Amino acid sequence: MACTSGQPQRVTLEATLSAGSDVLLAFEEEIVPAHSVTLRQWSGVLGSLLDGCGNSGSNSDAADNSTGACAEPGYQTTATTITIPMEGTSKQDWLTAMSFVYPVVPQPRVSWDNLEVLLTVANKYNMPALLSRAGMFLQDNTQQLTSSPGSLDFAWKWITLADKAGLPDVAQACITRCFSGSQAAAVVDACKKEVLVGMSPATCCHLLEALAQQRSAQQRMMRPGVAYCCSCKCFRQMRAAHQQTCGSIAPGTLRCLVCQNGTVFNTA
């Protein structure tokens, strides 16, 4: 690749898409060029549509098959191109996904800002390689998930999205991580019944098992003679009842077995 002053030459997505394109993707009023070979490689859905349109991946072949009309309404063929409507997907979301498909420079990175788009687009168009990359980012960053609804890294948002995107293993890894950290009680509190709607059986079972284990751990810990964190929910729930029967709670040095926090009180 040519360099200028020691820096790699910038390669834009727009220029890459326009060079030698033989497919047009229609987003409402906007058209985005594409390449049938790339679409076949990356997307099972679009690859199947191209097969149905009689496009074998080159301009010359497209011309030979220009009479092979697509079965679906809205799909158009000409002597050189096929136009595919991209209903329900925005142009910007598609371009975000394509920036990870085409060799643009500089290469983008998966982040919390683009993760939802990548999961949604990759799942909708059956793009396993892109879906795997997005899932890997989420699985590698489960420690950043929080119990705060509305936050960018809200645990239940990503658990639900990963599961609906066909990544139950990633969703279950998020559940396991969230239920084993210091925010376990808060994550449980933030779990609403809507989370279970549409959840895959495997992930639903994993979630129910995690909830049962969390509840069992709290019940085992909430009794005299056991150390509790001074700030976690398990301590707050039992403190009033314990003080009524046992008096004051003296500081101790044991670790809370529920939230793994080292600042605890010994209730013995």
Please report the pLDDT score of residue 112 as a whole number: 95
Give the whole-angstrom CA distance, residue 103 versus residue 91: 19
260 pLDDT more than 60: no
* Average pLDDT of the residues in 192-199: 80
Summarised one tens digit per residue, pLDDT across range 81-116 is 799 999 999 999 999 999 999 988 888 999 999 999
Residues 18 and 80 in one domain: yes
Mean pLDDT of the chain: 76
**Nearest-10 Cα torsion for 209, 212, 216, 219:** 160
Q: Which domain holds residue 167?
A: 128-219
**If pLDDT is split at 50, 70 and 90, which confidence band does 254 have?**
very low
26 pLDDT more than 70: yes
**If pLDDT is split at 50, 70 and 90, which confidence band does 220 have?**
low
Q: Which long-range contacts (CB under 8 A, 24 or more apart) does 106-112 make?
A: 106/8, 106/10, 110/134, 110/136, 110/137, 111/137, 112/141, 112/144, 112/152, 112/153
**If pLDDT is split at 50, 70 and 90, which confidence band does 268 have?**
very low
The alpha carbon of residue 10 and the mean position of all alpha carbons in its chain are separated, in whole angstroms, by: 29
Residues 27 and 103 in one domain: yes
Residues 210 and 229 in one domain: no
On whether residue 44 sits in a domain, the answer given is: yes
Q: Which long-range contacts (CB under 8 A, 24 or more apart) does 100-107 make?
A: 100/130, 100/133, 101/38, 101/42, 101/127, 101/130, 102/13, 102/16, 102/17, 102/38, 103/11, 103/16, 104/11, 104/12, 104/13, 104/16, 105/1, 105/8, 105/9, 105/10, 105/11, 106/8, 106/10
Residues 63 and 140 in one domain: no
Give the whole-angstrom CA distance, residue 97 versus residue 122: 8
Report which residue type is found at 249. Answer: I
**If pLDDT is split at 50, 70 and 90, which confidence band does 178 have?**
confident
**If pLDDT is split at 50, 70 and 90, which confidence band does 170 have?**
very high
pTM of the model: 0.69
On whether residue 203 sits in a domain, the answer given is: yes
Give the whole-angstrom CA distance, residue 138 versus residue 170: 7
Residues 65 and 145 in one domain: no
Residues 198 and 227 in one domain: no
Give the whole-angstrom CA distance, residue 257 versus residue 218: 9
The token duo for 250 is 């003296």
**If pLDDT is split at 50, 70 and 90, which confidence band does 196 have?**
confident
